[in-house]
Amino acid sequence: MIEKIYTLNVLFFVRHLSLNTYNNYMFNYDLIVIGGGHAGCEAVLSASKLGLKILLITLNIDNIALMPCNPAIGGPAKSCLVREIDALGGAMGLAADATYMQMKMLNSSRGPAVRSLRAQSDKKEYMAYMRHLIESQENISLKQTMAVELLVENNKVKGIADEFGLVYNAPVVILTTGTSLEGRIFVGLQSVPAGRMGERSATGLSKSLQKHGLIVKKLKTGTPARVDSRTINYNVLEIQPGDEELNFFSFAPDRPVRKQYPCYLTRTTAKTHEIIKNNLDKSPMYSGLIHGVGPRYCPSIEDKVIRFAHNPSHHIFIEPEGKDTYEIYVQGFSTSLPADVQIQMLHSLPGLEKVHVIKPAYAVEYDYVPAVQLSHTLMTSKIQGLFCAGQINGTSGYEEAAAQGLVAGINAFNYLNNSEMLTLTRSNSYIGTLIDDLVTKDIEEPYRMLTSRSEYRLVLRQDNADERLTPIGYKIGMVSEERYKLFREKQKRIKDEVERLKETKVPLSEETNKILSQYNEKMERGMKAAELLKRPSVDYNILKKVHQETAQLNLPKEIYESAEIEIKYDGYIKRQNQQIEMLDKLEKIKIPENIDYSKMTHISTETREKLAKIRPATLGQASRIGGVKPADISVLMVMLNK
């Protein structure tokens, strides 16, 4: 009751707030960032590096860069986002490398397009690293308060007002509110206002956004329980160690070699599934209390049991939250069932029969701003100077949020300085693919980056993110001269090695074929090293065994791996580059902002409505809108030519 009265008083106070009322207490900045999660961190750090004076407003400054779900960075497709962030001069890769508990290359036996690095991070160390980075910047100020009103004049941002009536002026505001906007967490049929457990919900700002013409909707996500490591029987669990040969996210040199800690694997049982099915009526999702749509690719355990009823068991990973805590994250066991039911479920898992639950799992429903209301720069179309990044745009995941925060921070600077805005594309990055999907496809569920979302994944690999994006980062001032020099030296070494492999001959010998026979290969004649390397079962390490000159070079893995990929997949890469060239032709055909789609009688009403809603900037973007047919694009092209 007290909380309700307080919220009403804040809203009444702000509703009657005048910009002139608190002149003595106004504060002026170039940029205000609302939210201290992963999007907010990258936004303030990138804008600070470019020279802006910034205010970071957050509900709790002790939770800056918090990992409220799994304390891990990377994984399929996400590792590519992290390396692209690093290539552009962002911070996430450096933080992940500095605080990992385990490094593991997933899909290492498969092709380079789907290989992905994953780090299990020390949760507290990661937060401390990011906070230190932020606090060491003289032009970043921190403020623990709640932003409740967006101040707008003539469709331009002027600043924000907080819950205490203080006004902060800035011509640019970036919203990175995560799950806080009108957030409500559910444990069974019980719920409380909160964006995350232990942190209050952000109230007022959603209504302010709606007042200024933005559409606000609801989504749902969740997180598993945390349990006590000392109550787990690890003897019956399957160990999941880290890699002996380390890989890192950042392309910067001198990355730290740290002690690695194992993760473990258990599985659900028939008893687990029985408990879930018997208690579905107590789930807020199945009882209708939660209306927001949940993430398809990170479902709750009850969703898994119902949707995949044919599967007798599901993998559950036991992962540490930090090296100095006994708190354990139960990955794959997200749920919103009541706390007592959760305990029964956990006790049904092998190795967790006597486990103590520290924090229950919960679901959270929150407000978001559908990203079709943004341009590719992440600025809203209705309000100039207002950017949105992270979960407020309908995404899930730290990496997706950080990537958007980086782009929004850079474009905040560009907007203020009337510079060319940074617009990454599907053909040069996963970040470009992510943003294009968000602003084009009218997504109705939490968006997660997947390898399959990129049609150019063989060209957009995690190993060559620096080759694709570091020149862009250097051009806009995010990458230092020293870092750029190291990048150019690396690219030269890769090019030199490719040329050497094309020119170097591997002679035929009995010893060579003896080694190759171990891999079901055989040479009929002497051949160039590049030719031998193109064989599916021959990699660079095998080449070193059969060719002494190659072995003596002692090249770093990042050099020979890139050279090997360039040679082995040369034909596929050329074909994909041809597809990119075709796409670029459509991307170069701009669509006027004021075009009237209602007058285009040669395309269907449905297509006209979708084009009018999304308002694509190019013919290429129009072709990717769901429901828009190739014939519609042909008609649109003719109309544009006229």
Query: 123 and 72, same structural domain?
Result: yes
Tokens 């599985």, residue located: 267
For residue 247, the number of C-alpha atoms closer than 13 Å in the C-beta half-sphere is: 22
- Give 28's pLDDT tier (boundaries 50, 70, 90): very high
d(CA 412, CA 203): 25
Higher pLDDT, 490 or 4: 490
Residue 16 pLDDT > 50, yes or no?
Answer: no
* pLDDT digit string, tens, across residues 73-102: 999 999 999 999 999 999 999 999 999 999
Which residues, 6 or more positions from 564, have their beta carbon under 8 angstroms from its beta carbon? 533, 539, 540
Helices (H), 116-189: 123-135
Which residue, 86, 332, 340, 85, is CA-closest to 224? 332
Q: List the strands of the sheet with 100-106, edge to edge.
A: 72-74, 116-121, 100-106
- Give 551's pLDDT tier (boundaries 50, 70, 90): confident
Q: Is residue 21 part of a domain?
A: no
Give the pairing of strands 31-34 and 54-58. Answer: parallel
d(CA 243, CA 223): 27
Residue 179 pLDDT: 95
Last residue of a domain, one of 476, 491, 514: 476
For residue 371, the number of C-alpha atoms closer than 13 Å in the C-beta half-sphere is: 29
Which residues, 6 or more positions from 398, have their beta carbon under 8 angstroms from its beta carbon? 37, 38, 67, 73, 92
Residue 295 pLDDT: 60
The residues facing 33 across adjacent strands are 56, 174
Residue 7 pLDDT: 46
Residue 318 pLDDT: 97
Query: 398 and 516, same structural domain?
Result: no
Which residue, 516, 610, 530, is CA-closest to 567? 530
* pLDDT digit string, tens, across residues 254-295: 889 999 999 999 999 999 999 999 998 888 766 566 666 656
Average pLDDT over residues 410-432: 96
Average pLDDT over residues 462-469: 95
Average pLDDT over residues 184-197: 91
Q: Which domain holds residue 124?
A: 27-219+366-476
Residue 60 pLDDT: 96
Residue 17 pLDDT > 50, yes or no?
Answer: no
The total of other beta-carbon atoms located within 10 Å of residue 317's CB is 20
% of residues, the chain, pLDDT over 90: 70
Query: 278 and 233, same structural domain?
Result: yes
Exposure string of 571-603, with b = 16+ CB inside 10 Å and e = fewer, is eebeebeeebeebeebbeeebeeebebeebeeb
Q: Is residue 36 part of a domain?
A: yes
For residue 228, the number of C-alpha atoms closer than 13 Å in the C-beta half-sphere is: 10
d(CA 310, CA 317): 21
Instruction: Tell me the pLDDT of the chain averaged across its residues.
Output: 90
Query: 548 and 405, same structural domain?
Result: no
Q: Give whole-number Cα distances, 450 to 21, 332, 493, 608, in Å.
A: 49, 17, 31, 30
Task: Enter the pTM of the model.
Answer: 0.90
Q: Is residue 380 part of a domain?
A: yes
- Give 4's pLDDT tier (boundaries 50, 70, 90): very low
* pLDDT digit string, tens, across residues 478-521: 999 999 999 999 999 999 999 999 999 999 999 999 999 999 99
State the CATH number of the domain containing residue 607. 1.10.150.570
Which residues, 6 or more positions from 39, have their beta carbon under 8 angstroms from its beta carbon? 176, 178, 389, 390, 391, 401, 402, 404, 405, 408
DSSP-derived letter for residue 122 is: -
Residues listed for the chain: 642
Which residues, 6 or more positions from 414, have their beta carbon under 8 angstroms from its beta carbon? 377, 420, 421, 422, 476
H/E stretch holding 116: strand 116-121
Exposure string of 84-120, with b = 16+ CB inside 10 Å and e = fewer, is bbbbbbbbbbbbbbbbbbbbbbeeeeeebbbbbbbbb
Query: 240 and 212, same structural domain?
Result: no
Q: Is residue 75 part of a domain?
A: yes
The two tokens of residue 261 are 């800690």
Helices (H), 238-366: 270-278, 284-287, 301-307, 339-347
Last residue of a domain, one of 333, 362, 391: 362
User: For helices 398-416 and 430-440, what crossing angle results, to 10°?
Assistant: 80
- Give 170's pLDDT tier (boundaries 50, 70, 90): very high
For residue 498, the number of C-alpha atoms closer than 13 Å in the C-beta half-sphere is: 16
Higher pLDDT, 556 or 46: 46
Contact 216, 393 (CB under 8 A): no
Q: Give whole-number Cα distances, 549 to 116, 501, 505, 543, 546, in Å.
A: 30, 11, 10, 10, 9
Q: Is residue 79 part of a domain?
A: yes
Residue 58 phi, psi dihedral angles, 5° rounding: -145, 150
Of 166-180, 384-398, 609-623, the one with minimum mean pLDDT is: 609-623
Q: Is residue 235 part of a domain?
A: yes
The two tokens of residue 370 are 């559908």
Residue 12 pLDDT > 50, yes or no?
Answer: no
Which residue, 591, 579, 584, 581, is CA-closest to 635? 591
Please calculate the CA angle 85-413-466 and round it to the nearest 5 degrees: 25
Of 277-281, 333-337, 556-560, 582-586, the one with minimum mean pLDDT is: 582-586
State the CATH number of the domain containing residue 383. 3.50.50.60
% of residues, the chain, pLDDT over 70: 94
Residue 1 pLDDT > 50, yes or no?
Answer: no
- Give 588's pLDDT tier (boundaries 50, 70, 90): confident
Average pLDDT over residues 156-160: 97
Residue 292 pLDDT: 60
Residue 193 pLDDT > 50, yes or no?
Answer: yes
d(CA 101, CA 259): 7
User: For helices 557-568 and 570-587, what crossing angle results, to 10°?
Assistant: 80
Out of 362-376, 536-550, 601-615, the most confident range is 362-376
Contact 349, 266 (CB under 8 A): yes
Report the domain count for the chain. Answer: 4
Contact 337, 360 (CB under 8 A): no
d(CA 214, CA 370): 9
Residue 302 pLDDT: 86
Query: 609 and 519, same structural domain?
Result: no
Query: 202 and 107, same structural domain?
Result: yes
Query: 49 and 153, same structural domain?
Result: yes
Residue 630 pLDDT > 90, yes or no?
Answer: no
Q: What is the CA radius of gyration of the chain?
A: 26
State the CATH number of the domain containing residue 286. 2.40.30.260
Please calculate the CA angle 162-372-447 and round it to the nearest 5 degrees: 90
Query: 43 and 189, same structural domain?
Result: yes
Higher pLDDT, 603 or 489: 489
Q: Is residue 131 part of a domain?
A: yes
Query: 553 and 435, same structural domain?
Result: no
Residue 617 pLDDT: 84
Contact 162, 344 (CB under 8 A): no
The two tokens of residue 287 are 């009882």
* pLDDT digit string, tens, across residues 214-229: 999 999 988 999 999 9
d(CA 516, CA 538): 8
Query: 102 and 182, same structural domain?
Result: yes
The total of other beta-carbon atoms located within 10 Å of residue 484's CB is 16
DSSP-derived letter for residue 199 is: B
Which residue, 79, 87, 89, is CA-closest to 113? 79
Query: 131 and 237, same structural domain?
Result: no
Residue 19 pLDDT > 60, yes or no?
Answer: no
- Give 23's pLDDT tier (boundaries 50, 70, 90): very low
The total of other beta-carbon atoms located within 10 Å of residue 277's CB is 12
Q: Is residue 421 part of a domain?
A: yes
